[in-house]
Structure 1
Amino acid sequence: MKKIICSVLATVFIFISAQVFIAKENIYEKGDINQNGKISLVDAMLSFRHIAGKTELNEEQKRSADINYNNSVELQDCMQLFNFIAGKQKQLVNESNLENAYEKAATAVVSTDANQQLLQGMGVEFDPHFFVSYNPSLTEEDWNLIMKRLDILGVQSFRIMAAPSYFESVNDNDDPNVINWDNVNFETQQIKTMCRILDAAEPRGIQVNITFFCVDVGWLAQSGQSYWGQAPNDLDEYAENMSILMQYLINKKGYNCIKDFTPANEASNWYTSPDERTPIQFYIDACRKIDERFTKDGIREKLNFVLNDYYQNDTWFKTCSTELKDISDAFNFHTYAYSDVSSYYDMNSFFNKLITLSDGTPLICDEFGGKNIDAYHQFDMDTYERGLFYSRFVEAFLNAGGAGLKSWCFFDQFYYAGSREDALMNVGLFKYKDENWEVRPFYHAYGLIMKYTRPGSSIYPLSVKEVTDSGMVMKRPNITGTALQSPEKKWTYLVTNNARLDSKMIKIENPHLDRQTTFNVHIYSENNVSLSENLISAVNNYSITISDTTYITLEPETFAVITEY
C-alpha cells in the first residue's frame, strides 16, 4: 500500500528570520513507528525487522522510520534510532538531512494575480429519471440516501436535462406567439422529478442549469418522428416550447435556484438544418430566436444564457464564440477525450485554447468524465486512478481560466426503459441500487473538491518548480495544483503528486497570506479510499498553523486538499 501524507510529510513550518519553527508536532513523529506516542526499543526493533525482511511496515510507519529523509528505510536510519534511544545522540533527526530535504522540495508559488473569472461552482449532472417508471425499484428511502450524499459531498451546482416530451408531447396550439396553458402537461413523471430535484437545490443554494437536450417529439422534429437527438423544424415553436417550461419553473413554481439556461445539448454533434442554412448558422439563429422570446416573456433577465455547447468540433466553438458573444453570459463545452493516463499538461493546453477563443466570456465545462466506451460506459470507472484524473482535470481547467465544472453524472440510474447493459447510465459517483449504491473511488476525490471549494472564489494558478535528483529543472513537474480564495477570504489548495514512484516534499508559497491560520489536510490515497459514503477526513483530525509558507510531503500518485474549511 502507498500514498499518504505524514510527518514532515504533513508537517507545516513557519519561516521567521531564516529560522524554522515547527507549527505543530508531527502527525507520525519520526521514530514513533508503532504510533503509540513515544519512541522506544519496540520502534527500533520494528525498523530492524523491516530492514531484515522479517516484517513489512505500512506507509505511515515507513515515513516514521525514515529518519534521514531520503524516502527509504535503511540501516543508517535504524542505527540513528538505536543511538537516540540509548542516549548516544541528543537529537534523533539530523538537521542537515532536514535542510537537504527542504532544498530539494518542489516549490509551488501562488500567482500574484487571480484569474479573470471567479469560480461559478463544482457540480454534477442530475437528470429527472429517479421517479420515472423505468426506475421502478427506487423509493423515498433511496431518495433520502441521495439527499444525504448530496449534503456529504457539498455539491454546488446541478445541470438538469429537459426535453419537449416532458410537458408538450402535442403542440399546445398552432400559434407560437400565444401559449395555451391548458394544453400543456406539467404532471408528467419527468417534470415532477425535476421539481423534486429543484426542491433539493433551492434550500441548499445549489445553482442550477436547465439544458434542453434535443427535440424528441414528432410535431416539432425535423423528421416528424419522436426519437432522440433531433433538431427543430420551426424555430418560433422551439422558442415557445422552451419559454413555456422556464416560465412555469421560474414564475409559477418560484424557483430562484435556476440561474443558467442552455438551449441545445451538444448541438455541434447532432444539429442539422431544415433549409439552406448550415448547421452552425441554424444553431446561431435558434439561440437568437430563443433570446428574443425569453426577453418578450420577461424571463431573459432572470437567466444566464450558457451557449455554444461545444463537443469535439473546433470550428463550431470558434464560430459560435464570435457570432453569439453578444447574447452569451457564458460559453460551455463537454469533453470525454481524457482519462487516467492523460497528463495535466495536455489537458491544460486544450483548455487554454478554449479560454483564448472565449475572449473574456466565462467558460464552463458542463460535462466531463473519462474516455467513453459508449454513452453509458467509461473505461476507468472503478479505478483509484480515476480520482487522480479528476484532480488533474480540475487543476488544469481552473489554472487555464475556467469558471466551473460538472461531472457526468451524479449517480447511476436508468435513463430509459431497457436492459441494464443498454439503459443504465454507469458513470456516476456511485452505483445503482442493485449494487447497494456503492461509492466509487473518485466519489472521494471529486467530493473533496466540491466540499472544500466555494462558489465565488478567486482562482490563483500554482507555478511549480521541481528539480530532479541530478539538479535538472523539470519542464513538466510531477506536482500540479491550484489555489482558491473564497469570498470569506479563506484559502484552499488542491495539490497532486503525479509521480508514479517518488514521494515529494512541496513548498507552497502564498504571497497573499499575511496571517497565521489553521488548515486541515485531506488526502486522497489508496490507503484512505473506502466504500464509506463519508468523505476522507482530515489526516488524524490534524490542523496545521502557518504563515505564508507551507511544507508538506505527498506520496506518489496522491491528491491533497489543504483547506481552511
Structure 2
Amino acid sequence: MNSGFDDGLAHWQATGASDSFSVVEFEGRKVLLGMKDGQDKQRVIGQSFPAKPGEAYELTAEMCPVELSGWSGVSLHFYNEKGDLIDSTPNWQPSLARDWSRPVIRSRAPAGTVKGKVVFFINGTGKAYWDNPKLTLLPPVPIKDKADVTITVTDKVTCADFQGFGYEDDGWFYNEHNAKHGVNEADAKIREARIEWMNPDNVRMFFWNMEWNPAQDWKTFDWETNNMRSHYRTLDLYQKIGTAINVAGVEWGHTNAWPEPKLLANGFGELLEHLIKTKGYNCIKYWTFSNEPDGYFNTSCGDFNKYVQYHIEMKKEIARRGLDVKIVGSDDMITDWFDRCLNTPAYNDAVDMYSTHIYIHKDKIDLANNLFAERVGKLEAKTGAGKGKGKPWTIGEYGFRDERFVPPYTNPFSEDYPYAIHNQGFVIDGLNQGVASFQYWCIHEMYYVDPDNRMLFGLWNYKDRDWGIRPVYHSMANFCRLTEVGDTVYRCTTTQPDVKASRVGNVLFWVNGSGTAKNIQVKGADLKSANIMTEETLEGERECGQTVAEFKGNVLRVPASSFGHAILKQLN
C-alpha cells in the first residue's frame, strides 16, 4: 500500500465529504489532514488492498488529533464480494491536545473476505493528522495435527509478581432490582457457596459514584443507599475468604464527574476510608479511577493533564489517610492510552500497576499473543516488570465474542462449550508471556443499577434458568482455586500451537484446542495426577471430568477439544 503522502491522495478514497481530507505540510513533512466542523456523520478516507479469508494483518500509523472534541482513529476493514463491510477493527485517540501516537491494530480476515481497507476517520469537531501507515501480512500459524505433542516446562520465569485470578463482581446482587425479580436467601446461598469454592484471588468491583455521592458534590455522602448495602453484603464474603478487592469508579449520569483534582481525591478518600476503617473491609487493596477512561473520560473531559493530576492527588490522599491501597493505571480498551500513561513520568510514578480490557473475536484470539508480548515488553523496559520489580500488567476485564455479541449486556457465545476452550487457551498464552493477573467479565447474570436491563455475561445464568453453570465456569474456577498470589509462573513451549500449557506453582494448566485426541509428552516436570474435562464430562458445580493418576512415559492422553490441569510431583 501507499505508506505516505508525498504523492498526495493517490490511491486514497474518501467517503462522504471528500473535501474533509487534504495533504498538507505539518512539522516539516507532508501528512494527511482531516477536518470536521459538526456533529454529523464521521469523515472517512481509506485505501483498499486484496485480502483472503484467514489472513492476519498488523496495521500501524502515526496519528495526531488537534483540538478535537470527539474521536480520530485508524481502522482495518474487510469486505465481501458484494462490497459489504463484514469486519472492522478500530483504534482511536480522542484528545484535546496535540500529541502524536502510533496505534497498532491486529486483525484476521473473516470467511467471505475478498478485499481489505486501511481506514482513517474523524468524528466530532476539530482536526487530526495521519502519516506513515504500514500494513504487514503476519506469517500464518503453522498447521500441525499429529497425534504426539511435546510440551516442555521450562525454567523461564515469565512473571515474578503474579497477582492471581478473579473476575468482575460489581456487588449489586443483593440490591432492590434483583430482589424484585425474586432473588432470595436460598439464591444467595447458591451464589456464595460457589464463590467460596472458587476462592478467587482478586475481584474488580464497580462503585457507582451516584450510589455513595448522590448529591454529586464530592462532599456529601450517603453510606446507606440500597446499592451500598448490597456492596457491604458482597464484601462480607470476600473479606471472609481473603479476596483482594479493586474499587473501580464509574460515573454513569454524574453531572459533576470531573471536579478539581483535590476535591475528587478527597471524595474517593472518604469512600475508601469508610469502607476500610469504618466498615472494616481491609480486603480492599486496589483503586481504579474510572472504568475505560480512553472512552467516556476522554470524550466528556478530554484533559489528559487533569487525568494525570487525579492520580497524583489520589496517591497523596491514600498516603495521608494511611490506607494500604494500590492504584491501578490505564484501564484502557487496547488503545494507545496505555502508551500515553506509561510514557508520562508523573503518571507512571503515581500508579502501581497497569490494566487493559480485551473483548476479542473468537477467530482472532491467537493474535492477543502479540499484544501480551508487546505490553509486557514495554513494561519491562520502562519499569522492570517481570524481573521481580516494577509494575505488573493485568487483564482487568476480558471476554470473547462472535457475531451475536451486543455490548454492553448480551453475549450468547459465553454459554457455549468452545468459550471454555478459548478461555483456557487465552489465559495460558497470557501466562506464558508474563501477564500478572486476569479478571473475567463477569461473575454471573444479574441486574445492575438499571432495573430494565440484565447483564447477560457470566459464569452462570440467572434465577429464571436455575442459576445454571456455563462451561467456562469450570475453566475459570480451576484457575482461581488452584493458584495463589505470589506463585511463580513458568513458560511452557509446545510443538503444536493449538495444544499448549503453562505452569503456575506446581500446577500445569493445559488445553487441547484441536479436533483430534493427543498424546502430550511432558518434559521438564513429572506428572503426579491430572484432570481432563470435555463437553460430555462437565457436570455440577465442583470438580468434575476424568481423573488420571498413572502415566506411562510421563505422557498425558487427552481427547479432542479438552482442557484441564495436572499436579506436578515437584518444583524444578
TM normalised by structure 1 equals: 0.68
Deviation digits for residues 189-244 of structure 1 (CA, Å, limit 9, x no counterpart): 111111111110112111111111226433x23xxxxxxxxxx1332222122111
- Is 1:432 aligned with 2:462? yes
Q: Deviations over 1:76-116 (max 9, x none)?
A: xxxxxxxxxxxxxxxxxxxxxxxxxxx97321111222124
Q: Note if contact 2:512-2:562 (Cα within 8 Å) is conserved in structure 1.
A: yes
Which residue of 369, 378, 381 maps to 2:399? 369
Counterpart position of 1:560 = 564
Q: Specify the structure having the higher radius of gyration (Cα).
A: 1
Offset, 1:125: 0.8
- Structure 1 residue 458 corresponds to structure 2 residue 488: yes
CA contact (8 A) 1:447 1:535 kept: no
Deviations along 1:35-79, whole A, 9 cap, x unmatched? xxxxxxxxxxxxxxxxxxxxxxxxxxxxxxxxxxxxxxxxxxxxx
Q: In structure 1, what is the Cα distance between the partners aligned to 2:300 and 2:147?
A: 63
Structure 1 match to 2:139:
none
Aligned to 1:14: none
Out of 393-402 and 376-385, give the one that drifted further.
Answer: 376-385
1:274-293 equivalent positions in 2, closer than 5 A: 278-293=302-317
The one-letter code matched in structure 2 to 1:454 is: E
Structure 1 Cα separation of the partners of residues 462 and 290 of structure 2: 28
- Report the AA paired with residue 271 of structure 2: L
State the partner residue of 2:472: 442
- Structure 1's unaligned 5+ residue stretches are 1-102, 222-231, 467-476, 486-490
Alpha-carbon distance in 2 for matches of 1:104, 1:193? 51
Superimposed CA distance per residue, residues 455-488 of structure 1 (whole angstroms, 9 cap, x where no aligned partner):
221111111124xxxxxxxxxx321110111xxx
Alignment CA distance shift 1:416-1:191 (3 Å): closer
Partners of 1:353 and 1:463 lie apart in 2 by 19
Instruction: Name the structure 2 match of 1:169.
Output: 214
Q: Which residue of 1 aligns with 2:549?
A: 543
1:416 equivalent in alignment to 2:437: no
SS in 2 for 1:336: strand
- Cα distance, 1:479–1:124 mapped onto 2, change above 3 Å: same
**Correspondent of 1:378 among 411, 415, 422:** 411
Do the aligned residues in 1 keep the contact of 2:358 with 2:398 (CA within 8 Å)?
A: yes
Is the aligned partner of 1:149 residue 2:194? yes
Amino acid across the alignment from 1:198: L
- Conserved? CA contact 2:396–2:439, under 8 Å: yes
Distance in 1, Cα, partners of 2:329 & 2:306: 14
Unaligned runs of 5+ in 2: 1-145, 386-390
Corresponding position of 2:325: 303
Report the Cα offset of residue 184 of structure 1. Answer: 2.1
Residues 394 and 436 in structure 2, CA contact (< 8 A), matched pair in contact too = yes
3-state SS in 2 of match to 1:236: helix
Matched length? 408
Q: 1:117-166 CA deviation, whole Å, 9 max, x = no partner?
A: 33211111111212222112211221111111112323222111112211
Structure 1 partner of 2:157:
114
TM-score by length of 2: 0.67
* 1:262-318: CA deviation from partner (whole Å, max 9, x where unpaired): 11110011113888xx5433322221122222223332xx011111111131x2110
User: Structure 1's 316 and 215: CA in aligned 2 closer, same or farther, altered over 3 A?
Assistant: same
Please say if 1:322 is aligned against 2:339. no
- Is the Cα contact below 8 Å between 2:508 and 2:568 reproduced in 1? no
The DSSP-based 3-state class of the residue aligned with 1:112 is strand
Query: Does structure 2 conserve the Cα–Cα contact (< 8 Å) formed by 1:445 and 1:524?
Result: no
Q: 1:358 aligns with which of 361, 366, 379?
A: 379
Equivalent position to 1:518, from 528, 546, 550: 528
Could you tell me how far apart the structure 1 residues matched to 2:357 and 2:162 are?
18
Q: C-alpha offsets along residues 348-398 of structure 1, whole Å, 9 cap, x if unaligned?
A: 111111212223220111101112421111241221100001001110111
Partner of 2:517: 503
Cα 1:104/1:139, change in 2 over 3 Å = closer
Corresponding residue number in structure 2 for 1:312: 334
Is the contact made by 1:306 and 1:328 (CA closer than 8 Å) also made in structure 2?
yes
Amino acid at match of 1:253: K
Aligned counterpart for 1:201 among listed residues 225, 238, 247: 238
Give runs of ≥4 in structure 1 deviating > 6 Å.
none
The percent identity for this pair of structures is 21
Cα-Cα RMSD: 2.3
Distance in 2 (CA, whole Å) between partners of 1:409 and 1:273 is 26
